Amino acid sequence: PFDVLVVGGGPAGASAAIYAARKGIRTGVVADRFGGQVLDTAGIENFISVPETEGPKLATQLEQHVLSYEVDIMKPQTAAELVPGELFEVKLASGATLQSRSVILSTGARWRQMNVPGEAEYRNRGVAYCPHCDGPLYKGKHVAVIGGGNSGVEAAIDLAGIVSHVTLIEFDGQLRADAVLQSKLRSLGNVTIITSAQTTEVVGDGKKVTGLKYLDRTSDEMHDIALEGVFVQIGLIPNTDWLKGVVDLTPRGEIITDERGQTSLPGVFAAGDVTTVPYKQIVIAMGEGATASLGAFDHLIRTSAP
């Protein structure tokens, strides 16, 4: 059996694996792919001490750093079930079962997509999901934010300070964000709010985004907006379907952790975008991975091997 079994090979999992392996304990990583969301990212400019890098390059470096230690990376493998016990069992979709004295869950999250024509085609070429990451790329430009919940309105307020104009598009008849955020948004001079609007297409010139189309749901009329960026903010879905009923989750499906990364199940830790950590960033996920790993090590030295 492993001492620490990490599930998920993104920045949080890579960091957790390195911290565990450096303690000289048996460490494994189960990953459907190595790098996580970083693999889907074009430029990264906020990974502190590395002014500029690219997602696939950082993903390779993450894996190489992990492989420089004695870590058993099992990929491509998907964990399908976590069974509590004196030794935890992680059952894989392939049918195999792994055993470990502690488990670190770092299965990340995924942005909910609009699923309209042009969205996938122009991803990273005008379609963005992370204002903290990509906002500065749109300095002085016109962008749309899709979604009028808290994350959409926060994104619109954030972007309004950088870009020339923000058009916020909400499907519903009204915004759903907290009142204080809505009034802040309405106080800004370079923001237009459009409600009852269904985005139907992201339009581009073959290279980058040039606009979007939406349906006015009250009049049934189609409209075009010329713009250079579309920030989709309609939800971040944690990858926790397989953990329901095993560890405590919030109503949104995030794993609840304490300051050591401990979940509701002693010996099971979690880190990164899959948890309740409020900000979802590479540098934060890595810090959380280190915390969870040190938390797991603390747990192991207080329990005897079965």
The SS3 call for residue 42 is coil
Candidates 35-43, 64-72, 193-201, 246-254 — which segment interacts with ligand FAD by CB under 6 A?
35-43
**Which residues share a beta bridge with 165?**
142
The answer to whether residue 33 forms part of the interface with ligand FAD (CB under 6 A) is: yes
Query: Residue 160 CB, nearest distance to ligand FAD (Å)?
Result: 20
How far apart are alpha carbons 108 and 214 in whole angstroms? 31
Q: What number of other Cβ atoms are within 10 A of residue 111's Cβ?
A: 18
Among 283, 287, 294, 298, binds ligand FAD (CB under 6 A): 283
Which of residues 142 and 280 has its CB atom nearest to ligand FAD in the complex?
280
How far apart are alpha carbons 283 and 47 in whole angstroms? 6
Query: Ramachandran region of residue 33, left (φ > 0), alpha (ψ -120 to 50) or beta?
Result: beta
The answer to whether residue 233 forms part of the interface with ligand FAD (CB under 6 A) is: no
The answer to whether residue 9 forms part of the interface with ligand FAD (CB under 6 A) is: yes
**Whether the Cβ atoms of residue 128 and residue 134 lie closer than 8 Å to each other:** yes
Residue numbers in the known binding site for FAD are 3-18, 263-273
- Residues 6 or more apart whose CB falls under 8 angstroms from that of 153 comprise 168, 175, 177, 178, 181, 182, 185
Among 61, 78, 150, 195, binds ligand FAD (CB under 6 A): 78
Strands 97-105 and 88-92: antiparallel
The answer to whether residue 127 forms part of the interface with ligand FAD (CB under 6 A) is: no
Candidates 30-38, 147-155, 186-194, 248-256 — which segment interacts with ligand FAD by CB under 6 A?
30-38
Candidates 37-45, 159-167, 198-206, 256-264 — which segment interacts with ligand FAD by CB under 6 A?
37-45
How far apart are alpha carbons 274 and 104 in whole angstroms? 11
Residues catalogued as catalytic:
130, 133-134
The answer to whether residue 11 forms part of the interface with ligand FAD (CB under 6 A) is: yes
Interface with ligand FAD by CB under 6 A: which residues? 7-13, 30-33, 36-38, 40-41, 44, 46, 78-79, 106-109, 111, 129-130, 133, 239, 242, 272-274, 280-283, 285
